[in-house]
Amino acid sequence: MQVIEAFRPLPQNQNWALDGLKTYMSAEDAIADEQCNDSVHLFYPEKLMETARRFLAGFRGTNLYAVKANPHEAVLKHLWQAGVRDFDVASLREVELVAKTLPGANLYFMHPVKSRQAIRYAYAMGVRGFSFDSLDELVKIEEETSGASDLKLFLRLGVVVKGAAYELSGKFGAPLDIAPLILQRARVSAQRLGVCFHVGSQCMNPQAFADAISQAATAVKAAGVHLDVIDVGGGFPVAYPGMEPPALEDFFAVIHKALDANGFSGIETLCEPGRALVAEAGAVAARVELRKGEDLYLNDGTYGALFDAGVPEWPFPIRLVAADGRETSRETIGYRAYGPTCDSCDKMAGPFPLPADVRESDWVIFEHLGAYGHSMQARFNGFYSETMVAIVK
């Protein structure tokens, strides 16, 4: 560790962005050196910067990072360094975190249901962008900001689209038939009026964005109001085994074309990527505590960083790091996995293809877990990991 830093001094700004994380040249080095009883969270800052630059260069509007995907301060700071200045926050704690970590960031409170305290406090902290999906929430925002004249208000639309692996339409979004009425009413108090939507997470089909944009256009037209901003939300996908989405640039192209075709060319445009910005920038290394046939008992699971591997049975790219550095078998087996807690829900069906000779003390690395991994871990049963390290080549 010291050796790496002595030979590879990081520039001052990189040190700031690493936020005190230890750095290693590889996952293998990190696992060997940390001697950690818990799983080890791996962060790849260079990958994060690269993806952020792709969004900044490719999407023609403003990129809001959806903080819930990974609120680690090192992630926020690297995004800032890459040029991200705008953040989609959903809770008062997320407002506080970003405001404290990145003074000067533009915050958008895009949760359509907020407490009155949260609205009031966020406004006092400089937040001007708020979303809502009902008249009652709009009234809450007006009241708690004392009728402020500098609000950027976004009506969240309940668009009906197909293509996402994770549906997000079940909970929020104004029905399209009453959206025009709410838009007319919001026009009165908004300095800048916007619409937003979310096509669902891990959206595999760019056409879903085009369909949503066209439905937004219909609602705005029916309202007959002037619109200042359109926010096409998150949902951009990442490659997982068995899920190979089109390139991000294809999504941008379809979105830009749909904006132009629906009369949104001249207006401010936002997007809110979470998963696609950070997923490939993180991984978790979990140790095999015991093997029983084709079952692996790991030190991380559904109450930890692997909720998505267990509950929606999401496939992650995985690889084995043999504890003793041995050359592992070429034959693979589809394993099942169990997390460390005593709850029998703490299981991951897989099958996880790994070498046939997996042994106790080997480590399984789940890649593309920079989104909705570390941020979702609980402390149930005393199993959780606070060890995060950066892998910097």
Ligand X SMILES: *Cc1c(COP(=O)(O)O)cnc(C)c1O
Residues binding ligand X (CB under 6 A) = 66, 68-69, 88, 110, 198, 201, 233-236, 272-276, 371
Cβ-based nearer residue to ligand X, 232 or 285: 232
Strand, helix or coil for residue 265: coil
Cα–Cα distance, 156 to 142 (Å, whole number): 16
Cβ-based nearer residue to ligand X, 156 or 287: 156
Cβ neighbour number for residue 13 with a 10 Å cutoff: 11
Cβ-based nearer residue to ligand X, 202 or 262: 202
Question: What's the closest the beta carbon of residue 371 comes to ligand X, in angstroms?
Answer: 6
Q: Is there a contact between 82 and 56 (Cβ–Cβ < 8 Å)?
A: yes
Question: What's the closest the beta carbon of residue 238 comes to ligand X, in angstroms?
Answer: 9
Q: Of the candidates 253, 245, 170, 241, which has an alpha carbon nearest to the alpha carbon of residue 209?
A: 253
Cα–Cα separations (whole angstroms), residue 99 to 57, 92, 94, 190: 25, 10, 8, 23
Upstream peptide bond of 315 is cis (omega within 30 degrees of 0):
no
Q: Of the candidates 194, 356, 199, which has an alpha carbon nearest to the alpha carbon of residue 274?
A: 199
Cβ-based nearer residue to ligand X, 22 or 85: 85
Cβ-based nearer residue to ligand X, 129 or 234: 234
Cβ-based nearer residue to ligand X, 30 or 157: 157
Cα–Cα distance, 274 to 324 (Å, whole number): 37
Question: What's the closest the beta carbon of residue 338 comes to ligand X, in angstroms?
Answer: 27
Question: What's the closest the beta carbon of residue 110 comes to ligand X, in angstroms?
Answer: 4
The separation between CA 151 and the C-alpha centre of its own chain, rounded to angstroms, equals: 26
Instruction: At 314, list the tokens.
Output: 């999401």
**Residue at token pair 């999504």:** 251
Contacts (Cβ under 8 Å, ≥6 apart) of 78: 17, 45, 48, 49, 52
Question: What's the closest the beta carbon of residue 369 comes to ligand X, in angstroms?
Answer: 13
Question: What's the closest the beta carbon of residue 233 comes to ligand X, in angstroms?
Answer: 5
Strand, helix or coil for residue 355: strand
Cβ-based nearer residue to ligand X, 273 or 304: 273
